[in-house]
Amino acid sequence: MKVLVTGGMGYIGSHTCVQMIEAGLEPIILDNLCNSKEAVLERVEALAGAKPTFYHGDIRDREVLDQVFSENDIRSVIHFAGLKAVGESVEKPLEYYDNNVHGTLMLVDAMKHAGVNSLVFSSSATVYGDPEEIPIKETTPTGQVTNPYGRSKYMVEECLRDIQVAAPQMSITLLRYFNPVGAHPSGTMGEDPQGIPNNLMPFIAQVAVGRREYLSVFGNDYPTPDGTGIRDYIHVMDLADGHIAALRAVGEKAGLHIYNLGTGKGSSVLEMVDAFSQACGHDVAYKICPRRPGDIAECWADTAKARAELSWEAKFDVTAMAADTWRWQSENPNGY
């Protein structure tokens, strides 16, 4: 089965493409390479034994979208393409709404024109904002988001809800990720952020490999066991498998389907630093800094729904996440 994977050259998209090929699916990648590199294709081919068809183009380019759909018998779409840096979104809200919201609407309109009714959307736990309950369930209220990135994901979710009501034959799945980390166990694929990393694990990795002097830990006075923020970190390989599980369980089932993808466990910033120190064999330097505005004390997922309906659950623990990240970073100190 051919599946269009927008943003398939990126961190989560590329790992998902490897798992898709191994599961017998045929990913067709569309990516504008604004935050990824074409070298990823060779790594995917080396791991999976097949090179995905790749279109260098933008989801906001209707001509490219129509070309992709007309040249391939696409049955479903996994939609990763989006800008994702919280801090940058505050500085560049126009770009985030244009790419993430407008781009998704362009994509869905092209799907409608091509008669493709199955969409799996890469959403985020940021749609929950500062949650009213922990662990977070799919029924936890959404919308109280604190930055344009999270708001763009929330807006897309709301648009997709309305679109599914108007087109009840569509299967639309919203996958709300928690904190993706890790790398392919081979060490040949991983996260390769452009510029200064926005997420914890790649920053720790760059400190460990000597590219950065120290990690800034924002706040050690939260009401948590060690005072640092607690998050639900999920291995990128588990996340990749979650997309395939969703595609198989509900990808052809009309309706709106919503799932949290996390481990159901929280780990603090200092626990992640400790796990990485053990993986790389030396201490990772860090400094305690003031809290960042908008950060919350703790956040992790209730994953019971995904377990029950998708027959999916995370398999990798923090030790594996750190070990796989270090293998990737140490063997590819400058990324791809």
Amino acid letter, 135:
P
Cα angle vertex 255, ends 249, 260, to 5°? Answer: 60
Give 3-state DSSP helix, strand, coil % of the chain, rounded to 5.
Answer: 40, 20, 40
3-state secondary structure of 320: helix
**Among 55, 149, 233, 286, which one carries the catalytic annotation?**
149
What are the DSSP E strand ranges found in 150-214? 171-177, 179-181
Cβ–Cβ under 8 Å, residues 303 and 314: yes
Q: Which two tokens stand for residue 309?
A: 């309906």
Active site residue 233: no
Cβ neighbours, 10 Å, residue 232 = 26
DSSP for 272-296, please give it: HHHHHHHHHTSPPPEEEEPPPTT--
Amino acid letter, 225:
P
d(CA 49, CA 254): 33
Q: Cite the active site residues.
A: 149
